[in-house]
Structure 1
Amino acid sequence: MNLSELKKGQAGRVLRIEAVPALRKRLIDMGVLAGEVIRVEGVAPFGDPMEVLVRNYRLSLRKHEVEGILVEEVQ
């Protein structure tokens, strides 16, 4: 599943990032790496942007950015 499918409060472990090279590099630079747990902290009314917690800091990501982040749900 991709990160955009998780609801507020749910977490997932990053499996891989499927995005254009520039966006992929930007996400990796921000700490979104394979194996990291990422938790959805909030979602705007229309689903864009999404606030996530990764490596103990918060990021606001646009919908097209989170759709390329593949995760497996964790408890």
Structure 2
Amino acid sequence: MTDDVTEENQHTSLGVAQRGFRGLIGAIVVDADHDGVPAIEIERRLLELGFVEGAVVEVLHEGPLGRDPIAVRVNNTTIALRRREAMAILVT
């Protein structure tokens, strides 16, 4: 994957992005519940953390085991996320 996704209509999941990726959030799409937490609650939490459409996001660090968790910067705030939560964040 390149550092920047240049095609405006091309979306990828933040969960598959590599360290150094930088892009814009296009949408939040939570398909299923996570460990008993309803999908709508996961979506609400991500929005409250600043993962909103149009926000700039950058992958700063990946955990040593299974690349989990990841540290991302969203509009000048650093946040740690599990990969499965990051999979719900679509970026361009």
Fold match by TM threshold 0.5 = yes
2:20 corresponds to 1:9: yes
What residue is the counterpart of 1:64 in the other structure? 84
What residue is the counterpart of 1:47 in the other structure? 67
Q: Deviations over 1:23-59 (max 9, x none)?
A: 1000100111001110000011212101000011100
- Aligned length, in residue pairs: 72
Kindly name which structure, 1 or 2, has the bigger radius of gyration based on alpha carbons. 2
Q: Gaps (5+ residues) in structure 1?
A: none
CA contact (8 A) 1:42 1:52 kept: yes
Structure 2 CA distance for aligned equivalents of residues 47 and 2 of structure 1: 15
2:28 corresponds to 1:28: no
Q: Which amino acid aligns with 2:76?
A: N
CA contact (8 A) 1:14 1:70 kept: yes
Instruction: Specify which structure has the higher proportion of strand.
Output: 1
Q: Which amino acid aligns with 1:3?
A: L
Structure 2 CA distance for aligned equivalents of residues 41 and 16 of structure 1: 20
TM-score, normalised to structure 2, is 0.75
Structure 2 CA distance for aligned equivalents of residues 47 and 4 of structure 1: 10
Structure 1 runs (4+) deviating above 3 angstroms are none
Structure 1 CA distance for aligned equivalents of residues 22 and 16 of structure 2: 11
Give the alignment's Cα RMSD to 1 decimal.
0.8
TM-score, normalised to structure 1, is 0.90
Identity of aligned residues (%): 31
